[in-house]
Structure 1
Amino acid sequence: MSATRRQILARTGALGAGIAFSGSLTELFAGTATAQSMGQRGYGPLVPDPAGLLDLPRGFRYRVLSREGDPLRSGEGKVPSNCDGMSAFPGRRGGTYLVRNHENRTHSRQAVPRVRDLTYDPGGEGGCTALELDRDNKVLSERVAIAGTSTNCAGGPTPWNTWLTCEETEFRAGEENYTKDHGFIFEVDPYDPRRTGAVPLTAMGRFQHEAIAVDPGTGTVYETEDAFEKPFGLFYRFLPEKPMGGRGSLRAGGRLQALRVPGVPDLSTIQDPGATFDHVTWVDVPDPLARETPIRFQDFGPQGITHAQKLEGCYWGGSCVYFISSFAHRKDGSAADHYGQVWKYDPKRRRLTQVVVFGPDTDLQLPGESPDNICLAPSGGLMVCEDGDGAQHVFGLTRRGEVYPMARGRQNIGTPQKPEWGEFAGVTFSPGHRTMYVNCYTPGTTFAVTGPWGH
């Protein structure tokens, strides 16, 4: 997970800054419902939890669905550590299925158990687990959904109700304990994981994947790359051979392309919200499997390709795809500094627009991920997971730019003298919008939060 703007500002001595970001917040909520009362001004102050797990506003309640190290209900082993990206899918009789990533690399506290027919690489410790819940959030089942992968950070749901889990790594066979190459996307069926197995979607590229979003009209899959070193990541689109073909159709292959903005080799240099580029192009990736050279190093011709540091969040809203650069720093090799950009790509117009840019003179009251690990809330706003120093929160962000605390983690993973709290991840809502689900990354814990969402 990324460092937040709050962390970065503290490190650079900019905590005294504090003028508002530039851009249009309403763009962030494109395609969400408009509500008159649902969280428009927040739900009040957080009430300390006597159990020391999760503080919530008065009237809200939580249930612990799953905790790292506890036995899986399937009997396959223990609940894995490092709970990360997650999505909710409609279940039986008003229930919900959850698919949860586990961002394990090697030597993790609790690896994803290797299960026959669901393990890609016996040397991998990452993967996903799937939970089935009834309408009252009682856990009916919990099982391994895929194993033997690495560094499963984020991903995204498909219109046909599967989860695409992304490996945020480029490990090769023979490195660490791995017996196969990593850096792929895998499809996971939340209802019956054996129907998808552990098959890498190789045509979608081998790189440090972060998140995806699917155009529900065309089936085009957009992908972000969170590369850790210069040259930084690219923004991709995958054109499937069988668009909107349903479960398993992405195995049929397709074309992987990278975004080129003419004259803009680095998106960090654009810090003018509303700036529009009408002549962006998509360039075929020479070698999607990165057999010899990582994709971002490959030769895209004399015009080059467009890079950006910390490309992370990606979601579909309205008729456009939105993607986020969490920050950029010259000291890391970026062409300019910023503390967050939000970009919108309109496929029908082939138009790229900068929506929001943060800092360095940033409003520190805005939530920490710029936003990054986010969920479009039923209120028409956002829920944002914080990942930084000090107290860890899930913040709400209304359409009017008002920020309110929704949850605060209370599990101290430090010491009484130097307390630390695990970051939040994977925030998502049930299909009926009755429950917010969210993970604590460390110690791995999955919560279901219910309450007066409609008041």
Structure 2
Amino acid sequence: MSATRRQVLARSGALGAGIAFSGALSELFAGTATALGHSGYGPLVPDPKGLLDLPKGFRYRVLSREGDELRSGEGKVPGNHDGMAAFAGRSADRHSGRVHLVRNHENRNTATLAVPTVEGLTYDPMGKGGCTTLTLDERGKVLGERVAIAGTAVNCAGGPTPWGTWLTCEENEDKAGTNGYTKDHGFIFEVDPADPHRTGAVPLTAMGRFQHEAIAVDPKRGIVYETEDAFEKPFGLFYRFLPNKPEGGCGSLRAGGRLQAMRVPGVPDLSTIQETGATFDGIEWADVPDPLAAQTPIRLQNFGPKGITHAQKLEGCYWGGRSVYFVSSFARSAEGSAADHYGQIWRYDPDARRLTLVIVFGPDTDVQLPGESPDNIALAPTGGLMVCEDGEGAQHVYGVTRRGEVYAMARNRQNIGTPEEPEWGEFAGVTFSPDGKTMYVNCYRPGTTFAVTGPWRR
């Protein structure tokens, strides 16, 4: 939350305790475990080590911190820890309890802790972003940590595929010769968590060149949904990629496909929709004229007389049940949106071609409690959501139960400001182990990866 917005909220009386939250939560959690019967796991207990506050009975371990040496000997652990996912070890691996944790590094060209370049895994030697992987044993002990892809730029989020790979997204659209880069950026790359050299550093160009944020894959149709977090008006679009090989498999997306953008008839800007449950039928998908954006960014291209639908801060994206869900972290009219909000979650049902506004977030009475700017988001084994907060003030991972109860699950205690003016880095990359017993989450700055265990309810 910017200082300007904080001041505006304070004057309007919007700052205070809790969260103004509404939504059709039963839609979100269809097919998941029974939700918590009450709001969370109790109050957060201050951490004497000053790293991570958790409810009583929960514990954390620090798996990795920026600046430490990678166990592979390839260099130092990069900074700016962002999107992340956990994958079970391969069935052929006799250590069946192993977990591969793939982690993005949202490094720009000014980063001081770049992802080390590795032969066969580097796209552009001048790019400082990429991914690293941690391999954990059945007890959660770190066995290895290595570079998975390097030479990319501003790797923000991404998403897992049904065939067990990670799609890492560049939130950047600089072209070769810009900001020191030697190749065009703004692509998605596939990463094999167990064997990164199997996937290498190959851009999936047919999936579009734009400021990517996250993806979700329809496991039945193989369609990949993509969000765009564009910083200036016109804001980003919501896309789908129709692969030429919908059956999937590692490397299948290199075969190309068709990129389309969502059009909601009569709605040029999603921020104008404010009521949860608002539903739009007959959603259309328009072919992207130039997916490589050779001359013009996609969001500025001509989609014909009907236009196209934009939204500010399109971020988290995930598949649940029979639908894809995507997040708009906030919208600010002062920055060009048609209306203001503090966070939305949308649901698109491809069978019905129906779009529904499911959740609206917003601060109520205490800015120290969670409730605005949802970012990375994940379905939890508890039968609800875990959401990473990305604003100012205190930063939380917070949960949302099926009943609409919002509770703080974790609070970052690492002060990156001063004692007089404290500042806390955002959370990112919340995800769960394949057995559902461990929550992994990143602190963006200083880059820290945590494993959280405790009495999770099912």
* Partners of 2:4 and 2:241 in 1: CA distance: 34
Partner residue, 1:114: 117
Partner residue, 1:49: 47
Partner residue, 2:311: 308
Choose the corresponding residue for 2:323, options 291, 296, 320: 320
Choose the corresponding residue for 1:298, options 278, 298, 301: 301
Choose the corresponding residue for 2:349, options 346, 371, 374: 346
Choose the corresponding residue for 2:453, options 445, 450, 455: 450
Higher mean displacement: 368-377 or 444-453: 368-377
Over residues 149-182 of structure 1, what are the superposed CA-to-partner deviations in whole Å (9 max), with x where a residue is unaligned? Answer: 0000011100001000000111111111100010
* Partners of 1:345 and 1:363 in 2: CA distance: 32
**Residue 303 to residue 360, structure 1, CA distance change in 2 (3 Å):** farther
* Partners of 1:30 and 1:364 in 2: CA distance: 31
Choose the corresponding residue for 1:63, options 58, 61, 64: 61
* Partners of 2:143 and 2:293 in 1: CA distance: 41
Partner residue, 2:33: 33
- Find out whether 1:240 has 2:243 as its counterpart: yes
Which letter does structure 2 place at the counterpart of 1:416?
Answer: P
The Cα RMSD (Å) is: 2.1
Partner residue, 1:382: 385
Which letter does structure 2 place at the counterpart of 1:23?
Answer: G
Is the CA contact (8 Å cut-off) linking 1:159 and 1:214 kept in structure 2? yes
Partner residue, 1:371: 374
* Partners of 1:275 and 1:181 in 2: CA distance: 39
Identity of aligned residues (%): 77
* Partners of 1:220 and 1:306 in 2: CA distance: 20
Partner residue, 2:435: 432
Is the CA contact (8 Å cut-off) linking 2:20 and 2:371 kept in structure 1? no
Which letter does structure 1 place at the counterpart of 2:27?
Answer: E
Partner residue, 1:85: 83
Is the CA contact (8 Å cut-off) linking 1:7 and 1:388 kept in structure 2? no
Which letter does structure 1 place at the counterpart of 2:70?
Answer: L
Which letter does structure 2 place at the counterpart of 1:73?
Answer: R
* Partners of 1:422 and 1:342 in 2: CA distance: 23
Could you tell me how far 1:428 is from its partner in structure 2? Answer: 0.6
- Structure 2 counterparts to residues 51-450 of structure 1, below 5 A: 51-91=49-89, 92-358=95-361, 367-450=370-453
Partner residue, 2:92: none
Could you tell me how far 1:50 is from its partner in structure 2? Answer: 2.2
**Residue 369 to residue 26, structure 1, CA distance change in 2 (3 Å):** farther
Structure 2 gap ranges (5+): 90-94
Is the CA contact (8 Å cut-off) linking 1:124 and 1:149 kept in structure 2? yes
Could you tell me how far 1:135 is from its partner in structure 2? Answer: 1.4
TM-score (norm 1): 0.94
**Residue 441 to residue 269, structure 1, CA distance change in 2 (3 Å):** same
**Residue 360 to residue 303, structure 1, CA distance change in 2 (3 Å):** farther
Could you tell me how far 1:362 is from its partner in structure 2? Answer: 8.8
Over residues 275-324 of structure 1, what are the superposed CA-to-partner deviations in whole Å (9 max), with x where a residue is unaligned? Answer: 22211111110000000000001011111111111111111111011112
Structure 1 gap ranges (5+): none
Q: Partner of 2:181: helix, strand, or coil?
A: coil
Over residues 225-265 of structure 1, what are the superposed CA-to-partner deviations in whole Å (9 max), with x where a residue is unaligned? Answer: 11111111111000000013200000000000001111111
Length, aligned pairs only: 450
Higher mean displacement: 410-419 or 225-234: 410-419
Partner residue, 1:16: 13
Which letter does structure 1 place at the counterpart of 2:453?
Answer: T
**Residue 11 to residue 177, structure 1, CA distance change in 2 (3 Å):** farther
